[in-house]
Structure 1
Amino acid sequence: MAVEDRGTAGDIVRGLSAAQVAERIADGRTNDVPVRASRGVWDIVRANVFTRINAIFGVLFVIVMSTGYWIDGMFGGLIIANSVVGMVQELRAKRTLDRLSIVGQAKPTVRRDGVSSELPPNQVVADDIIEMGPGDQIVVDGEVVAAEALEVDESLLTGESDPVVKEPGDAVLSGSFVVAGSGAYRATKVGKEAYAAKLADEASKFTLVKSELRGGIDRILKVITYLLIPAGALSIYNQLSGNQDLPEALRGMVAALVPMVPEGLVLMTSIAFAVGVVRLGRRQCLVNELPAIEGLARVDVVCADKTGTLTENAMKLGELRPFGANGEHAARVLAALAVADPRPNASLAAIAEAFADDPGWTATAVAPFSSARKWSGASFGEEGDWVLGAPDVLLSSDSEVRAEAERIGEQGLRVLLLGRAEQAVDAQGAPGVVTPAALVVLEQKVRPDAKDTVDYFATQKVAVKVISGDNAKSVGAVAASLDLPHAEQPVDARTLGDDKRLGEEVETASVFGRVTPAQKRTMVGALQEHGHTVAMTGDGVNDVLALKDADIGVAMGAGSPATRSVAQIVLLDNKFATLPHVVAEGRRVIGNIERVSTLFLTKTVYSVLLAIMVGVPGLIGLDVLPYPFLPRHVTITGWFTIGVPAFVLSLAPNAERARPGFVSRVMRMAVPAGVVTGVACFVSYVLVYKGQGATETETIQASTTALITLITIALWVLSIVARPFAWWKVGLIAIMVVLSALMFVVPLTQELFLLDPSNGADTAIAFVCAAVGIVLVELAWWIDGRRRGERRRVFALSGAS
């Protein structure tokens, strides 16, 4: 289509032809951008292979290999494990998310060859005519070619919450959305030129963005990095200044440095997040950002819209109550209004279904429904000007019809007023005085799973606030049917003047009606100012601003594209009841990562401490102590006391409520446990070490003694971390104990790992030191629980995991 002939009436009505579409595709003028800005395969591989931890282990692996002791390089398998497991889990999550995002993406209605049909955004081409109505997101930049009372919200672009009226010739930007009216626009910028491409790239990346959990781990790793420098330097000096051969010194140095790095902590965190996303994906829950799982687990207030969240979107006509002469033709007027609105909302759709006989009236002006004004209408020339909307908005407070509407609304029904307006609906100051013609009573079904969901949040001490644009008493009736606390005292948001009073009410009340989009946003902000972590659920355009500002935005899959674009979590099955599963998944991730973090950091603490204690004698002029372990000892210790059990625990059920203070809570356990383990291990080693003149057998026996002490206490730390016990946890610990014991008694493993527990006296010393260490670690755990006011349990309650 030539530039000069764009915009003719025929072009607008028919849209592009098939030949014109093919021409633009051939020219590359398409909107073919990635549906989701997920990381590419190479990016995933690079991010998982070229890591700081892999680099450290790679250097140490090369050093050990240079000594010729290949078996001491077993820890090099961690490089492969860190890389492969991370890549596999992220690729699985990527595949699941990409597939689900296609299901949940906005599909614009495109007009071609005179036929309108929904198309995926990537099939839009330049100059396509795209229709738009309330709730539709504008997917590419364009120019308005037709408009009927069209209002566009550009708050996501400009921050200005007031809708902007659009006329033919005005520009519209992708990322904005329609709040009222209808129309069409011609695509002027597609693909990477459109704002939508940049928005998707910034907002929808598959990435582990900042969260309290990951932020805490990053801070821990930073501290460990500082500790590694002096401990590592001391270890290197100590090993190389002794009378050991260079290969032996290098092996001791590597054995000291390897356990200082919590190599599996970041890996386990990534796995837990990725597995959580995949699990939720199977429940038709699209997670746009991985930490959203964690965030919802920390939520203590859920703000839920009524319509589409607690109730079903579909409605049906319950009753029509006419008044006076104007009410005689109420059915015909309602049918005409339904025909006049090209994009009816749920209420008007129910009316259209009940009154299907078109009276044939010609509309001279149309005012689509707007959540800001709470009414819609049409002018029909001689047939009059008619409006349909909220009785408490269109009628005065002393109106008997309004009082009747409120009585009906208290039963949980939606009541609309059909009235004759004083002015044309498109006139300034419309509708003027409204004469009642009829009350339209609509029935809205409460979702069958809504009560169970509300009850679940009540048991978890998560407050539920119902915030709706509907009549307050109607909203209260629905909330009361769900046994929501204080539902019998709904608040009309129009009575709340300033933001301060609104903030006070939202803290104490549970049900709010007649809430404007701006007030929803203010309520979310007020709750956050009071220290709450807020989740906002919704499906309508009027929920977008609040969804955007909430800590966690949850949108319904069948809701408007605008809500889905700003939400961190999209419930594609449209079930409010899916939220408890998301909360449970978040709690599983947070609780389990906290557990495994304790294991990894305990190892880091005792490794750093042991390296320092072994190195100090050489610094003060005493005999140099060789490091008690070989790299192979470090590897088997990591297998049975941390690696395998941590992997199982990170994926296990965990319903413990998320709490702030992750770092301090983990370190309060890891530091004393690590100190006790390191000191006990050192003491047992010093007690049996025969000095630099010791034979090879005596050296191996001393090393075995220290290792028995270390593994015994480390297994007890594992048992503490696994509490409260369930049958499978007891089984897991028992298996680790048996496997660890077999390493010391099976001749093959004795020879392979250079272990010799045959000296009874030395072994007895190992167990005595371990017993003292176990008592101290146990006392530290109970004392910490008492100081924090927690009721510690050794065994899980019946049926708990």
Structure 2
Amino acid sequence: MVWQACPVTTQTQARDPGLSAAEVADRIAQGQLNHLPPRSGRTVADIVRANVFTRINAILAVLLALVLATGSWINGAFGLLIIANSAIGIIQELRAKHTLDSLAVVGEARPRIRRDGVARDHARDEIVLDDVIEVGPGDQIVVDGTVVEAEYLEVDESLLTGESDPEEKALGAAVMSGSFVVAGAGAYRATKVGSESYAAQLTAEAAKFTLVKSELTQGINSILKVITWVLIPVGVATIVVQLTQAHNDWRRSVLAMAGALVPMVPEGLILLTSVAFALGVVRLGRRNCLVQELPAIEGLARVDVVCADKTGTLTENGMTFGELRLVDGGGEAEVAAALQQLVAADARPNASMQAIAARYPAAQQAWPVLAKLPFTSAKKWSGATFVVPDRGAQNWVVGAPDVLAPAGSPVALEAERIASGGLRVLLVATAERPVDDPLAPGTVTPRALIVLNQKIRPDAAETLAYFAEQRVQLKVISGDNAASVGAVTRSLGVVSGTAVDARTLPTDAVEFATAVDETDVFGRVTPHQKRAMVAALQSKGHTVAMTGDGVNDVLALKDADLGVAMGSGAAATRAVAKIVLLDDRFATLPHVVGEGRRVIGNIERVANLFLTKTIYSALLALLVVLWRVQFPFLPIHVTITGWFTIGIPAFLLSLAPNNEQARPGFVRRVLQLGLPAGIVVGTLTFITYLLVRTDDPSAVAMQQTYTATLACLIVAATWVLAVVARPYRWWRVGLVMLSLLAYLLIFTWPFTQSIFFLDIGNRAAMGTGLLLGVVGAVLIEALWWIRGKVFGAPLVFWSRS
């Protein structure tokens, strides 16, 4: 078999010792340090400012000032929302920032900087201008620079330029931050640091605490925009009507106006969304999971296909040497000597070469090297051309048997048989051509097969079973031999079907996408094929997550809807991934899915409550304007209404476990229940008000009217909570019952009657209010069933789990 290889030359010069300690100190004094943006995107001051100076807080503050001017302090209780909203938002985001920052320090790339002739790992922020930084396969270029040492150095710049082929970097060549090394080794001198380097922009985007690009937050913002347009005209009309009421003094008009406007503001919806996301970051942080982009929590909950690399994901990253099987009676001493020389010539060995080195350590006296070719995932082999004592030049190669050996040859068939047992097999051979020849390796002479053992992660089977149970399809795409990959996946007992060699896949884009969609296991996949597979699955309408740890996974991780990297993997994979599993535990992914589903499912419940409240408040205000009557509530009444129908229940529901599968169409589903429920509650509350109001302007008569109307509102609104809390578990039933009991206490306890201006003395009015409240509950129950039948919403009354 002939493999087309790009000629790569080695260029070296005298080893640059790097900066001295004095030179480093001088550059730090001049501010030539690699200062980067905060890892979590916002400073403490930004967080405080963003949570205090909000549009909702501004509206509530103005209304609070007007209410306090009337001297009725108890009616200003809604002002506590300003403090609560700001304090809770600040505390939770600071907790998330602390978690994100501390984990980012662990998960970020640590460049190897050479100073005073000694190379050590440093934090990225410690780089100064003119530092010499060493790199090898999988390392990310963290600042812009110029190559000062190059040994077969190849850099992939596709994330920056879109060019698919790696670039050979010779001495003096420029390298840009954001690219990564795919082969060879070398060093470069930093020419741009801090804000001048592309790394500053990359870091700001990769580890930013943000709520953007989220279907959930975009949906909430859409709802809020509509509410704002409704609130403005209705609010202005309410102010005019209340200030022109004949029996009202200015104080009563202001209180009525505030009572109408306060419940129209969805003050807790954004807060609870932010809190839910922030708590997700904290919870996952405790599991050593770094969420580099906040919407990633939501993203994995929407994923329906997970593409997993085998090595480092299903199997542990390292391998152990199994055995050396000689071919055609070759001499073990000769092969062992060649392996020791290959180990000595490899400055940055991969996992396979490290396993070989454990059995055959680097030779003490190295043979002269005429040429080297590092391993890349695209070639599947590496090698060196040596000057062997007493024998002259010899070309030794190590790589995939099905790439190096002729198809159907005895050695290829034997390697395939061994690999079918789940073992990894490499071929050691001598080649016809020097390794830097464009037509290398030419004809190869097999000398031995190397058998490596790979250990399956103990939690892999359980994790894959979880995804299967949750109807998340798994695709195993690996660069290893297809038979070996198939054996590993079959041993896990989850993925079935024959493993397909990716080299046999059709080249036509449509046929390729169909083949990828219909097959679960692939071997011999090149890095660019991995990227193409992700795109193919996305073209079929799938939301794709990609997991990986090697440099060959970078492109696919970047293009996937959600990239998940292993903490011990290449720095480049951690840089482009949205989630990093710092302890390499694939079993953490179900917890990420759980957090995403908790956020999406629970915020949808909460949004139903808030939207219902805003709709019935706006409708009530509009009806009051049309009938030109006094608003039926004081601000304190709408405050206590929110306590147990929305506020406390919404907070508890937003934090509870939720494993419901995420579905698109958040806004549509919220409107399906929230809009008609709000209309029902608002209409029946206003009807109650018209039936029980009198012309008696006395305080007692007005309080009795308030109380009966409030009773209708609370009964109907509590039933909205009752249907939103489904499917029931014991604690959700208890939550609804506690809400009703709390209101029963507030309405009947003389102390609360006094401070909340309630009077249940008019039995006829109370009977009317309670009866219409029950009618509202019946209608809302009917709406829940009708929505399920018409829109296909799940009608699960009681949870089976």
Partner of residue 4, structure 2: none
CA deviation map 1:579-621 (0-9, x unaligned) = 0000000000101100111111110111111111222123xxx
The alignment partner of 1:370 has SS state of coil
Partner of residue 449, structure 2: 439
2:309 to 305, 308, 327: 305
2:336 to 331, 336, 339: 331
Please tell me whether residue 182 in structure 1 is matched to residue 185 in structure 2.
yes
Please tell me whether residue 167 in structure 1 is matched to residue 177 in structure 2.
no
Partner of residue 210, structure 2: 207
**Residue type of the alignment partner of 2:161:** T
- Is the alpha carbon distance of 1:52 and 1:482 closer, same or farther for their aligned partners in structure 2, counting shifts above 3 Å? same
Partner of residue 43, structure 1: 46
Contact 1:499 1:522 (8 Å CA) reproduced: no
CA deviation map 1:424-459 (0-9, x unaligned) = 112222211111111111111111100000000000
CA deviation map 1:741-797 (0-9, x unaligned) = 111111121111110011111111111111111111101101111223345232222
**Of 356-365 and 115-124, the range deviating more from structure 2:** 356-365
Partner of residue 551, structure 2: 541
Q: Tell me the CA shift for residue 58 of structure 1.
A: 1.3
The CA distance in 2 between the partners of 1:702 and 1:460, in whole Å, is 52
1:722 to 722, 725, 749: 725
The CA distance in 2 between the partners of 1:719 and 1:35, in whole Å, is 43
Q: Tell me the CA shift for residue 326 of structure 1.
A: 4.9
Query: Counterparts in 2 of 1:66-105, with a 5 A limit?
Result: 66-105=69-108
Partner of residue 622, structure 1: none
Partner of residue 663, structure 2: 659
Partner of residue 570, structure 2: 560
CA deviation map 1:512-558 (0-9, x unaligned) = 11111111111111111111111011111111111111111101111
The alignment partner of 2:754 has SS state of helix
2:151 to 148, 153, 174: 148
Contact 2:499 2:522 (8 Å CA) reproduced: no
The CA distance in 2 between the partners of 1:780 and 1:647, in whole Å, is 24
Q: Tell me the CA shift for residue 37 of structure 1.
A: 5.0
The alignment partner of 1:794 has SS state of coil
The alignment partner of 1:536 has SS state of strand
Q: Tell me the CA shift for residue 32 of structure 1.
A: 3.3
Partner of residue 756, structure 1: 759
2:602 to 579, 592, 602: 592
**Residue type of the alignment partner of 2:684:** A
Please tell me whether residue 370 in structure 1 is matched to residue 381 in structure 2.
no
Contact 2:17 2:117 (8 Å CA) reproduced: yes
The CA distance in 1 between the partners of 2:700 and 2:358, in whole Å, is 91
**Of 664-673 and 732-741, the range deviating more from structure 2:** 732-741
Partner of residue 297, structure 2: 293
Please tell me whether residue 229 in structure 1 is matched to residue 229 in structure 2.
no
Contact 1:557 1:572 (8 Å CA) reproduced: yes
Partner of residue 424, structure 2: 414
**Residue type of the alignment partner of 1:85:** I
The CA distance in 2 between the partners of 1:122 and 1:683, in whole Å, is 66
Contact 1:136 1:560 (8 Å CA) reproduced: yes
The CA distance in 1 between the partners of 2:331 and 2:652, in whole Å, is 69
The CA distance in 2 between the partners of 1:99 and 1:681, in whole Å, is 51
The CA distance in 2 between the partners of 1:474 and 1:680, in whole Å, is 68
2:350 to 345, 352, 357: 345
The CA distance in 2 between the partners of 1:34 and 1:42, in whole Å, is 14
CA deviation map 1:553-576 (0-9, x unaligned) = 101111111111111101001011
Contact 1:409 1:415 (8 Å CA) reproduced: yes
Partner of residue 584, structure 2: 574
- Is the alpha carbon distance of 1:142 and 1:791 closer, same or farther for their aligned partners in structure 2, counting shifts above 3 Å? closer
**Of 699-708 and 66-75, the range deviating more from structure 2:** 66-75
**Of 597-606 and 500-509, the range deviating more from structure 2:** 500-509
Please tell me whether residue 780 in structure 1 is matched to residue 783 in structure 2.
yes
Partner of residue 4, structure 1: none
The CA distance in 2 between the partners of 1:405 and 1:226, in whole Å, is 70
The CA distance in 2 between the partners of 1:532 and 1:51, in whole Å, is 37
Q: Tell me the CA shift for residue 34 of structure 1.
A: 4.3
Query: Counterparts in 2 of 1:14-29, with a 5 A limit?
Result: 14-29=17-32
The total of aligned residue pairs comes to 784
Query: Counterparts in 2 of 1:580-659, with a 5 A limit?
Result: 580-618=590-628, 625-659=629-663
CA deviation map 1:31-73 (0-9, x unaligned) = 2334625200111111111111111111111111222212111
The alignment partner of 2:771 has SS state of helix
RMSD after superposition? 1.6
The CA distance in 1 between the partners of 2:168 and 2:142, in whole Å, is 18
The alignment partner of 1:364 has SS state of strand
Query: Counterparts in 2 of 1:213-292, with a 5 A limit?
Result: 213-243=216-246, 244-292=248-296
**Of 385-394 and 28-37, the range deviating more from structure 2:** 28-37
Partner of residue 474, structure 2: 464
**Of 213-222 and 29-38, the range deviating more from structure 2:** 29-38
The CA distance in 1 between the partners of 2:691 and 2:522, in whole Å, is 72
Contact 2:728 2:797 (8 Å CA) reproduced: yes
Contact 2:210 2:295 (8 Å CA) reproduced: no
Partner of residue 527, structure 1: 537
The CA distance in 2 between the partners of 1:41 and 1:124, in whole Å, is 25
The alignment partner of 1:738 has SS state of helix
- Is the alpha carbon distance of 1:494 and 1:115 closer, same or farther for their aligned partners in structure 2, counting shifts above 3 Å? farther
The CA distance in 2 between the partners of 1:514 and 1:344, in whole Å, is 20
Partner of residue 690, structure 2: 686
**Residue type of the alignment partner of 2:260:** A
Q: Tell me the CA shift for residue 468 of structure 1.
A: 0.9
The CA distance in 1 between the partners of 2:546 and 2:472, in whole Å, is 13
Contact 1:149 1:368 (8 Å CA) reproduced: yes
The CA distance in 2 between the partners of 1:117 and 1:324, in whole Å, is 46
The CA distance in 2 between the partners of 1:676 and 1:278, in whole Å, is 39
The alignment partner of 2:448 has SS state of strand
Partner of residue 698, structure 2: 695
The CA distance in 1 between the partners of 2:278 and 2:40, in whole Å, is 17
Contact 1:494 1:514 (8 Å CA) reproduced: no
1:126 to 129, 137, 143: 129
1:358 to 363, 375, 380: 363
**Residue type of the alignment partner of 1:320:** L
Which segments of 5 or more consecutive residues in structure 1 lack a partner in the other structure?
A: 1-6, 619-624
Please tell me whether residue 109 in structure 1 is matched to residue 112 in structure 2.
yes
Query: Counterparts in 2 of 1:60-71, with a 5 A limit?
Result: 60-71=63-74
The alignment partner of 1:14 has SS state of coil
Q: Which structure has more RCO (C-alpha within 8 Å, separation ≥ 6)?
A: 2
Q: Tell me the CA shift for residue 723 of structure 1.
A: 1.4
Share of identical aligned residues, percent?
59
The alignment partner of 1:380 has SS state of strand
The CA distance in 2 between the partners of 1:735 and 1:357, in whole Å, is 72
Contact 2:430 2:446 (8 Å CA) reproduced: yes
Which segments of 5 or more consecutive residues in structure 2 lack a partner in the other structure?
A: 1-10
CA deviation map 1:101-124 (0-9, x unaligned) = 000011111222222211111122
Q: Tell me the CA shift for residue 489 of structure 1.
A: 4.1
Contact 1:677 1:773 (8 Å CA) reproduced: yes
**Residue type of the alignment partner of 2:352:** S
**Residue type of the alignment partner of 1:364:** L
TM-score by length of structure 2 reads 0.96
The alignment partner of 1:152 has SS state of strand
Contact 1:493 1:512 (8 Å CA) reproduced: no
Contact 1:475 1:512 (8 Å CA) reproduced: yes
Partner of residue 460, structure 2: 450
**Of 344-353 and 158-167, the range deviating more from structure 2:** 158-167
